[in-house]
Copies of this chain bind each other. A is one copy, B any other.
């Protein structure tokens, strides 16, 4: 049991550094402090091991959840964006590797796309709720708006390290800045806030 998890963790780490082809069973065994043959007895093959490691990985996402009823969009969305960018930054290596191997190992990449897909739906729902509250001044397609914010965050998490000229802002302000830009694009008043009471009323009123 413990051995299995040690090996899985080591496999994920080695994969993040070297990708599939670079993840030799020797390296994984060494990283796990385990004899190479144990890997084959436990998992059968390198591919099975790495597949299980990937699944095991995506289980532990743990994103901040957005409230069903928006109250303070700037604060709530910023917190969400920050948890999202942090999530991506912590996994940037493994994400890059996985993306690089979509063509060759699509099954492995598939399970990696579940996190952003769910995140997109969550964000989308929130934006629609904001619009229902009548707090967005402009017409917009929520999927596109969500894709824009998430895309900006994603690219920042992937590219900041290798292109400092493109990302001169401080690392810990970026998520907030993208969030503010998006809110402005939707015509949401920044800094505004709404009590749950008013929210309830407004929601009722609109749905009527």
- Give Cα A151–Cα B169 distance, bound, in whole angstroms: 15
A154-190: CB near B (< 8 Å → 1, else 0) gives 1110110111011111000010011001101111000
Nearest opposing residue in chain B for A145, CB measure: B181
- With A99-B96, A154-B155 in contact, is A174–B138 under 8 Å at CB? no
How many copies make up the complex? Answer: 2
Q: Given the complex, which residues of B lie within 8 Å of A144, measured CB to CB?
A: 169, 174, 177-178, 181
- Chain A 93-120, CB-CB to B under 8 Å as 1, else 0, gives 1001101111110000110010011001
Taken together as a complex, chains A and B put the C-alpha atoms of A72 and B75 apart, in Å, by: 34
Inter-subunit contact B165/A155 (CB<8 Å) = no
Q: Is the CB of B99 within 8 A of A99?
A: yes
Residues of chain B within 8 A of A113, CB atoms compared: 159, 162-163
A111 CB to closest chain B CB (Å) equals 11
- Whether A9 sits at the interface, judged by CB under 8 Å, is no
A99 CA / B98 CA spacing, docked (Å): 10
Contacts of A100 in B (CB 8 A): 19, 96-97, 99-101
> In this assembly, does A143 line the interface, its C-beta being within 8 Å of a C-beta of chain B?
yes
A30 at the interface (CB under 8 A from B): no
Determine whether the beta carbon of A166 is less than 8 Å from that of B99.
no
User: 7 closest Cβ contacts across the A-B interface?
Assistant: A100-B100, A151-B155, A151-B152, A185-B185, A21-B21, A148-B152, A184-B185
14 further A-B pairs in the complex, CB-CB below 8 A; given A18-B104, A148-B148, A151-B153: A17-B103, A19-B19, A110-B162, A116-B159, A138-B184, A143-B168, A147-B152, A147-B156, A147-B167, A148-B178, A155-B155, A181-B182, A184-B187, A185-B185
